[in-house]
Amino acid sequence: MKKYKYAIINQFAFSDYQIKCTDIGSLEDILNGLQKICPDCQIKFEKNMAEEPYSILIEQKGRKKFTQTEIEWWIVKQLCNSGWRPLGEGRYIYEEDY
């Protein structure tokens, strides 16, 4: 039997991103990495009805250190290096047997 995880990257405005993911650990890994490379980014968790994080919002404040493309590709690289497979633009899936 297979188990799947799903992630979506949405881009808003000029430098705002939202990452929705069914895997909390992956969200936390992305959050920790972003805080290291972009300390000026404002990052906020959104929680679902069970009070579990399911989404992070990323917004660059002040002088822009990275372009929107650089941030998006950094996120894509993190997902792909962790075994996530692209489904289409901004959509990723992680498949595992159990």
Residue 13 has pLDDT above 70, yes or no: no
Domain regions of the chain by residue span: 2-97
DSSP-based three-state secondary structure for 61: coil
Q: What does the mean pLDDT of the chain come to?
A: 84
- Fold (topology level) of 2-97: Gyrase A; domain 2 (3.30.1360)
Residues linked to residue 55 through DSSP beta bridges, in sequence order: 20, 46
Which of 14-18, 22-26, 58-62, 68-72: highest mean pLDDT? 22-26
The residue that leads in pLDDT, 12 or 41, is: 41
| pLDDT above 70 as % of the chain | 93
> Taking a C-beta distance cutoff of 8 angstroms, is the pair 13, 27 a contact?
no
Torsion angles phi and psi, residue 96, rounded to 5: -145, 150
